[in-house]
Amino acid sequence: MTEKKDGAVFARTVLQQCLHATLQVKPAEDQSQAQFVQIDRGMVIYICFFKGATDDILPKMVSTLLNLRLCESDSGRMVSVLELPGSLLIVPQATLGGKAKGRAMQYHNNIDKEQGLCLYSAFVSLCEKELTAASPGGGAEAAVKHGTYGNRQVLKLDTNGPYTHLMEF
């Protein structure tokens, strides 16, 4: 469901809960092995921006996603990822903007690559700020990790129920 009743969607996110997740951030090359980031318990955020999206939407997006009660605490209560406290794995996912035309998927409404990268980077930074602010003790356990924009997102996910949610902004 969208946040808005009418009007354009500027960003689409899919959220999944995880016990552990690993994401490739650099593919293997002749001289080097592939590089990965990983998180333990927390939330995977798949994200795609659409044409017309600007920085303006980011603070509300981050505040909403990090404060929604989407995570199950040890006692079975629903809490936010900040309250858990859990880590974040942010995965750029242009395919989320796909629209079926016949048997093919088209991505005409996706934002262009340069703007998308800017928004993606700013989104990641804001998430890092919010997570740091929420764990004044240093928050060694909770971390923000993220994929490399434009790359293939080689992902492994281990869940106790993904509790997949869709949030649009």
Separation CA 44–CA 25 (nearest Å): 15
Question: Least distance from C-beta 37 to a copy of itself, angstroms?
Answer: 15
Figure out which of the listed residues 61, 86, 93, 144 binds a copy of itself, where binding follows CB under 8 A. 93
Count of residues interacting with a copy of itself (CB under 8 A): 40
Stretch near a copy of itself under the rule CB under 8 A, chosen from 29-37, 96-104, 111-119, 127-135: 96-104
Return d(Cα 35, Cα 50) in angstroms, integer: 29
Q: Please report, as residue ranges, which positions from 26 to 85 form the binding site for a copy of itself (by CB under 8 A).
A: 46, 64, 67-70, 78, 80
Single-letter residue type at 159: T
52: closest CA among 109, 120, 118? 109
Nearer to a copy of itself, 78 or 133 (CB): 78
**What is the Cα–Cα distance from 106 to 122, expressed in whole angstroms?**
26
Which residue shows structure tokens 């649009």?
168
Among 33, 100, 136, 138, binds a copy of itself (CB under 8 A): 100
With CB under 8 A as the contact rule, the residue among 56, 103, 137, 138 that binds a copy of itself is: 103
Give SS3 for 56. Answer: helix
Rounded Cα–Cα distance for residues 145 and 97 (Å)? 22
Contact positions vs a copy of itself (CB under 8 A)? 1, 3, 12, 14, 46, 64, 67-70, 78, 80, 91, 93, 95-100, 103-105, 109, 152-167
